[in-house]
Chain A
Amino acid sequence: MSDTTLPLFEVFVRAKRGLSHVHVGSIHAPDATMAVRNARDLYTRRQEGVSIWVVAASDIVASSPDEKDSFFDPAGDKIYRHPTFYTVPEGLEYL
């Protein structure tokens, strides 16, 4: 018998049409096709989804939490990107 762990896939489910896929967890499977089938059995037993994506966990590239300050800093001093930054006369609507 072999005790090697099958590849890991991250699972994303679209709960209903009009919503984006959301990460729900992971699953081990020998290949992507089996991962989709098994993810259906594991994550959508109660009609929680209308569509499933699986992505090999090893293929995911992520930002590092170690550099989260410096990485996201550039957005920190640009408050003029938010509408609340601007002053407008009182009493106006739809602005």
Chain B
Amino acid sequence: MYGNDFVDPNDPGAGPLNAADGGAVEAAAAHVDRRSEIDLSDFDAIIAADQRVEPRDVMPEEYRQTLIRQIAQHAHSEIIGMQPEGNWITRAPSLRRKAILIAKVQDEAGHGLYLYSAAETLGIDRAELLDRLHNGKQKYSSIFNYPTLTWADIGAIGWLVDGAAIMNQVPLCRCSYGPYARAMIRTCKEESFHQRQGFELLWDLVRGTEAQKAMAQDAVNRWWWPALAMFGPRDTGEHATGGHTAQSMAWGIKRFSNDDLRQRFVDMTVPQAERIGITIPDPKLSWNAERNHYDFGEIDWDEFWRVLKGDGACNAQRMARRVASHEQGAWVRDAAAAYAAKQAARQQAAAGEGSAA
């Protein structure tokens, strides 16, 4: 699962990220200048023809850096995303639900690894990516800084958070960068199970006792707005100038605006909520026959930026757990590497004896 790609423009640690961030004009000029230095005719032709860029193709440095940042953030989100749900594995209410949840959390790890694998094709080392996560230079989706307070949260995450992730990830399957697109295809094939198991879980609860139904509603109340925020800041109409949507679209990395994807998500999800008797916690939500879309209320953007900057309920906890897991796993990696080195040495020695004889 995954939130859309965005950075806090006021975070100095994030730095200028691509031609559309901050000094858009200067960066755009630099981009044009560079064309005389490197031959980009191939790259532009590939993008213009909606073809895939592959790892060893010549590509603009900004394109490479944008992809490294986006794919890494995406990978980090998958890995951190294991925590809020892993929190409930030992307390799943049945063996069936426990098996499902374990499989789902394992999938999130898998998605993270597909993505790290894709990022590495851009020439960055795995250890470096993890360092950047651990020292806060790269972010993960803010959605995972919210706590999973009840069992129903597992349902709400699957239905809403994974639902939003699918909405984001499906267009990424057509991303101009081949390895990223392929990782997304693999991921999307697995996400459908994630969303359906969550919806089914909630459906079970709403058909249960009053307390269970209330628990389901409470979970949706808490996850609805963070799920909408996963699509990132507004980027259409008067908001179109900020952020880096335009550049990412020109490069074929991003295919739809954050706002368009968010609207699609609302349109898709509201009927599902109605079907199982869940109320979407938005008094402004209503069908607009003129637009043929649902109108909905404004996201609390102050909260969005606050959580992104580290002031969410679980930011510190998630990172501490991530770093501890990495450090506590070091002996396993060391032992495996030592074993491999020993085996290789023995083989070499045996080969030496063989040739001497």
Contacts and interface: CB of A to CB of B under 8 A. Distances in A.
B127 A5 contact: yes
Interface string B299-343: 000000000000000000000000000010011011011011001
B110 A26 contact: no
B54 A65 contact: yes
Interface of A: 1-6, 8, 24-31, 34, 41-42, 45-46, 62, 64-66
A60 to B, nearest CB: 11
Nearest to B110: A42
A62 B54 CA distance: 13
B336 A45 contact: no
Interface in B44-62: 54, 56-58
Greatest chain B CB density within 10 A among A3, A34, A65, A66 is at A3
Greatest chain A CB density within 10 A among B58, B333, B336 is at B333
Interface stretch (B3-11, B113-121, B257-265): B113-121
A46 B190 contact: yes
A66 B118 CA distance: 21
A3 B190 contact: no
Contact of B333 (A6, A42, A62): A6
A2 B56 contact: no
Contact of A30 (B106, B127, B186, B336): B336
B191 interface: no
A64 B56 contact: yes
Contacts of A27: 113, 117
B183 A25 contact: yes
Nearest to B179: A25
A41 B126 CA distance: 19
B111 to A, nearest CB: 10
